[in-house]
Amino acid sequence: MSVALNLTVVAGTNRIGSRTLRVAHRLLERYASIEGVSASLLDLQDLPLELAAPSAYDEKPPAFKVFADAVLASDGLHVVSPEYNGGMPGILKLFIDHLPFPESFEQRPVAFTGVAAGRFGALRPVEQLQGVFGYRNAHIYPERVFIAGAARLLNDQGEPVDDWLRARFDSQVTGFVDFVGRLKA
């Protein structure tokens, strides 16, 4: 690849012990193994708790700056979201709502992976996210990955236990790198 890419993987919950976070780490490793790609993680467990204060809309907590800066500096975002009550976690929407507008997502490439205990594999939160990112003029990568029955399909490290899902992870990662590279070139 001729263009150096800086990608950011967002682990879309702050739940301790989250499978989403483990999947985000496995994706991060895949990105980092590709020549010319650097990848970093945004873990919503690290968000400052003051982000939920009513005053945060007027005055961001200083510790939020590293999150906003990482998004603004990234060539592409890969958002990994669990399904909570048929949608994205509240903390993920709060994070999105506090990012600088409109530059955070405007023409920024984004890929999505859904993680759920249930049989629909977080289709609902991923489609919600596509609506939000589409509204904000992001370039949505069309190849999505849905992990249904996550406890069965992932090992304790968040790596797929079957070849079919592993191939989906690999295909999405290499395809997204190509997509981001073409948009950046």
List contacts with ligand FMN (CB under 6 A): 13, 15, 18-20, 82-86, 115-118, 150
Is 37 or 88 the residue whose CB approaches ligand FMN more closely? Answer: 88
Is 71 or 150 the residue whose CB approaches ligand FMN more closely? Answer: 150
Residue 11 CB, nearest approach to ligand FMN (Å): 8
Residue 62 CB, nearest approach to ligand FMN (Å): 28
The kind and range of the H/E element at 80 are strand 76-82
**Closest to 130 (Cα-Cα) out of 140, 121, 122, 144:** 140
Q: What region, left, alpha or beta, does residue 12 occupy, with left being phi > 0 and alpha being psi -120 to 50 degrees?
A: alpha
Asked if 70 and 117 touch (Cβ cutoff 8 Å), the reply is no
Is 34 or 153 the residue whose CB approaches ligand FMN more closely? Answer: 153
Residues 59, 42: Cα–Cα separation, whole Å: 21
Is 43 or 83 the residue whose CB approaches ligand FMN more closely? Answer: 83
Residue 117 CB, nearest approach to ligand FMN (Å): 4
**Closest to 81 (Cα-Cα) out of 71, 91, 66:** 91
**Closest to 129 (Cα-Cα) out of 91, 103, 93:** 93
In this chain, which residue has its C-beta nearest to ligand FMN?
118
Residue 35 CB, nearest approach to ligand FMN (Å): 30
Is 11 or 77 the residue whose CB approaches ligand FMN more closely? Answer: 11
Residue 2 CB, nearest approach to ligand FMN (Å): 36
Residue 46 CB, nearest approach to ligand FMN (Å): 15
Is 169 or 179 the residue whose CB approaches ligand FMN more closely? Answer: 169
Asked if 19 and 153 touch (Cβ cutoff 8 Å), the reply is no
CA neighbours closer than 13 Å in the CB half-sphere of residue 131: 9
